[in-house]
Amino acid sequence: MVEWDPRAYLKQYYSIPYIPDDSRALLTFLLEQLNRRPEGYERAIEFGCGPTLYTGLALSPHVRQLHLADYLPSNLEELQLWLTDAPGAHDWSVYVRAILEQELGRLPTREEMAARETELRKKVTGLHLADIRQSNPLGSPQEFDLVTSFFCIEAVSPDLSDWETFLCNLSSLVATNGTMVLAAVRLCSEYEVLGRMFPTARVDESDFERILPACGFDPNSLVVRAVPITEWTDEGFDSICLVSARKLR
């Protein structure tokens, strides 16, 4: 992905003073899937997280260890700023408040918000450079009982057969009986980040339903939803796919 600017991406998509409808739908879905396993997860990875931590903030109470992976060193540097509470780090407080409000059913206190941020900083135990085009996306075989990835693999190549390969590469990180939770822009061929168009694989629910069983997931475990989105129509997409699946082998 050329000419990617983590700051520009954060400014356009994660700096408005409310939660846009795609993030809200994604976080509601993620929480719903996480709550299906009250014992939580030992080792989770958020793959292709870019410079963002909004999903990590939701994952944190449900996982013992959280690994973050992305292709670009500049994205990992931006994450590191926040993880070390460095000056100039992105402010995720709008998301912290909304996630806690959803969990608690009331507005959180300042102390509760600070505690969530501290918890996430403690639970992130690995930052990884990764490439989904490789059969071992982390460079060596590794397994996690929870793998999440949001708006990543469809952004790597517009070619549908590449996307299928990437989905299976990502699946290789999921342990037997592990869970994968995904979000993708739906039926979108390109979208805009601060004036530049990024081509994407044009996928919908049927693509996940077709490929995930072939990547080792239980067809009966598949949850695949199409959700209409109004916030980013001008940027190039008006719906997203939300997906959850359990690995059989």
Question: Is 152 near ligand SAM (CB under 6 A)?
Answer: yes
Interface stretch with ligand SAM, choices 96-104, 152-160, 207-215, 233-241 (CB under 6 A)? 152-160
* Residue with Cβ nearer ligand SAM (112 or 238): 238
Q: Which residue is nearest to ligand SAM (CB)?
A: 50
Which residue carries 């050329």 as its tokens? 2
Question: Is 52 near ligand SAM (CB under 6 A)?
Answer: yes
Shortest gap between Cβ of 55 and ligand SAM (angstroms)? 7
C-alpha R_g of the chain: 17
Question: Is 34 near ligand SAM (CB under 6 A)?
Answer: no
Question: Is 50 near ligand SAM (CB under 6 A)?
Answer: yes
Interface stretch with ligand SAM, choices 30-38, 42-50, 95-103, 218-226 (CB under 6 A)? 42-50
Question: Is 163 near ligand SAM (CB under 6 A)?
Answer: no
Shortest gap between Cβ of 82 and ligand SAM (angstroms)? 14
Helix axes 21-34, 93-104, angle to 10 degrees: 50
Q: Give the x/- contact pattern for ligand SAM in 114-143, rule: CB under 6 A.
A: ----------------xxxx----------
> Binder to ligand SAM among 71, 208, 217, 232 (CB under 6 A)?
71
> Binder to ligand SAM among 1, 107, 114, 214 (CB under 6 A)?
1
Question: Is 103 near ligand SAM (CB under 6 A)?
Answer: no
What is the CA angle 148-153-156, rounded to 5?
A: 150
Question: Is 45 near ligand SAM (CB under 6 A)?
Answer: no
Question: Is 8 near ligand SAM (CB under 6 A)?
Answer: no
Under the rule (CB under 6 A), what is the footprint of ligand SAM? 1, 4, 48-50, 52, 70-72, 75, 130-133, 150-152, 155-156
